[in-house]
Structure 1
C-alpha cells in the first residue's frame, strides 16, 4: 500500500471526529441548559448559579434553568449530573464539599469526583470568618487563643455537621494554634449560627456570604478571615495569616462542571462565556454585595485547583480522624 494512502486512512477517522466536534460546538446550544444546584434555594451556591445562569442564557440565546436538588451532602445532585448526557445541557454548580471533601468522607460515592466531571469555571469564593458570640471575652485572635489555653476545653465551636467546612476549619485552628475546643455539630449552617448567637456555643467558622448581616448587626464578632489576603467584602477584618496563623485557609467556593465526556469545544465555549460574564462589573458587584468574591480560574486551572484542594483537605480529615455523620 502506498505510504500516503496509509497515512490518509489512519488520520481520516481523527479528522472526522474533529470535524464533528467543531460542528457540535458551533451549533451549541440548541435547547435550554440546566444547572443543577445540590443545595436548597437561597444559599451561596444557588445565588451564584442564578446570577451566572441569567447572563449565560442571555449571551447564548437559550434559557438557563436552575434546578435545586439538595440531599446527602450534595451527593444527590452530583450523581444526577455525573449520569447525565455529556452534551453540555446539564451542568453542576459544584462546591468544595462535592469535589474535594466528600471523597475523603464517603469511600463509596456513586460518582468519581476526579473523573466524572469536566471542570469549566471556578466562579466565586466566600472565605470563612472566625466569629464569636459578643459575650466571649476575646476581641482578637490572640485573646481567643490565650483564653482557650488558660481554660482548655472551655471554648466550643459549632459546625454544620461532621466533615463540613466549619468542622475542618475548627480542626485546622486547633492544630495550628495548639488549643483544645469542643466540636458541636448541627444539622446545617442556620442552626449552627443561631446557636452561637444564642451563646449556646462560643464560636463558629462562618462564610462571609452568610455571616455578613449578623456581623454588621453586632450579633457576631468577627476576629479573623481564614484567607491569605483580606476579604473584599469585609476589608477591615484581619486575616489569619496576618495574625500569625498562616496555612489555615478555608473558603466555601462554587464552580461549574459538566459530565466528563462533554465535548472539549463545548466546555471551551462555556468557559469563555463565563469568563466574560464574571469580568462584568455589574456581575462582580452583585456577587460582592451578597458576600461572594468573583474568581477567575477556568478549565485546566480550575482542575488543578480542585486537585490541590483535595490533597489539602485530605490531610486535615485524615489527621483529625473525621468521619461523615
Structure 2
C-alpha cells in the first residue's frame, strides 16, 4: 500500500474548498475573449528539472503568442498532487495551467488513497518534451560493467544492492521495479526527496544503482561521472548506440519514456482549451524552444489533446498492475 508521507500535505488542503471548485459552474469565457490577464503555469517540482524547464520554455513561447505573460509557479511536493490541488482550486477559465511529468503524476493519482480528485477531473491541453528512460545507471568507477554483472551479484546476495530513486511512485521508482521484475532479483529501495539528491547519493557511493530519464542523467554522462548499462525501452538510443535495450536482453519493455503533459480543469471551456493547445503546438516550429529542450535531453514533440490523453491511458494501464507487486512501503 502507498505510504507517501509528503502527499499528506496535499490531502491536508481544504477538501471542502476543492470539492466546491470541482462542482462549481462552468465559466462562460469565450475563446475570443481569452486571455484577459496573465496566465499562471503551475509545476509540481522545484526549479531546474525537466518539468520546470519545459514549463518555462512553453511559458515564454505561449506568452508571446497569446499576448499575455505566462508566469511559472513552482508548487513542489507529494508527487505533484499539491500542484494538482492548486489547479483545481483555481478559476477554471484557462488562466491557470499545470505542467506535469506524466508518469509520476498518473502514478500518484491512481495509487493514492484519499486524494480529493481523480484524473478525470482534468482536461489535456497538449503533450510535449519526451525523454527516454535509462534502465540502469552506475558510477563511472563502479565494479559493475554490464547488466549481467549486476544481476549475478543481486542473485548471489539478495537485498545487498541498493537502488536510489526520486521517491515512491516516480518514474525512477518504476524503473527499479521493472528491473526487479524482469531480472528476478531483490534490491533495497532507498528513496530521496527528488532526483538531484538521489544522484548525489549515487555519486557519493551511498547507493549502488539508479535509473531514470535521459534528461536527468545527461549532464552527468557528459561529465563522465556515470555509465549507462541498460535502456528501458525496446530500442537502443542514437546517443548511446552501444548500450543494450530491454528488448536486447529479452525483457518486456514498459513505461519506455517520460513526457510532459499540460493540464487544465475539466470545467475549462473547450474553446479556451483549443486556443491553448494551438499555442502549445508552436513547439513544432519554434527553433529557440526546441534547442533549449534538446540541450536538456528532451525531444520537443507535440501531442494533441487526444493523442496525449491516449498516451496517459496507456501509462495508467501499465502502472496499475505493476503497483500491485511493487515495493510501495
TM norm structure 1? 0.85
Partner SS, residue 273 of structure 1: helix
SS in 2 for 1:73: helix
Q: Which residue is 1:8 aligned to?
A: none
Q: Which runs of 5+ in 2 are unaligned?
A: 1-26
Match of 1:68 in 2: 74
User: Which residue is 1:124 aligned to?
Assistant: 129
2:169 is the counterpart of 1:163: yes
The change in CA–CA distance for 1:154 and 1:99 in structure 2 (over 3 A counts) is: closer
* Counterpart in the other structure of 1:317: 323
1:234 CA drift (Å): 4.7
SS in 1 for 2:282: helix
> Does structure 1 conserve the Cα–Cα contact (< 8 Å) formed by 2:94 and 2:264?
yes
**Correspondence for 2:247:** 241
Residue in 1 aligned with 2:185? 179
Query: 2 CA distance for matches of 1:265 and 1:235?
Result: 44
Q: Is the 8 A contact 2:111 2:320 kept in 1?
A: no
Pairwise CA distance, 1:91: 0.4
Asked if the contact 2:163–2:209 (Cα under 8 Å) also holds between the matched residues in 1, the reply is yes
- The answer as to 2:273 corresponding to 1:267 is yes
Q: Which residue of 2 aligns with 1:200?
A: 206
Greater shift in the superposed pair: 255-264 or 176-185? 176-185
Instruction: List runs of 5+ in structure 1 lacking aligned partners.
Output: 1-19
**1: distance between equivalents of 2:196 and 2:94?**
34
Residue 92 of structure 2 is aligned to residue 86 of structure 1:
yes
Counterpart residue number, 1:4: none
Partner of 1:152: 158
Q: Of the candidates 82, 96, 115, which is equivalent to residue 120 of structure 2?
A: 115
Q: Is the 8 A contact 1:122 1:298 kept in 2?
A: yes
Give 1:267 shift.
Answer: 0.9
Residue equivalent to 2:195 = 189
- Distance in 2 between residues matched to 1:30 and 1:71, nearest whole Å: 30
Instruction: Name the larger-Rg structure.
Output: 1
How many residues align? The count is: 302
Q: Does 1:101 align with 2:107?
A: yes
Pair 1:268–1:146, CA change in 2 (3 A)? same
Q: Deviations over 1:35-88 (max 9, x none)?
A: 011111111111000001101011111111111111222121110101211111
Q: How does 1:203-282 map to 2 (within 5 A)?
A: 203-231=209-237, 234=240, 237-282=243-288
Contact 1:135–1:199 under 8 Å retained in 2: no
Q: CA–CA distance in 1 between the matches of 2:314 and 2:41?
A: 25
| Aligned-CA RMSD value | 2.2
Is 1:73–1:97's contact at 8 Å kept on the other side of the alignment? no
Q: Which residue does 1:5 correspond to in 2?
A: none
**Residue of structure 1 equivalent to 2:303:** 297
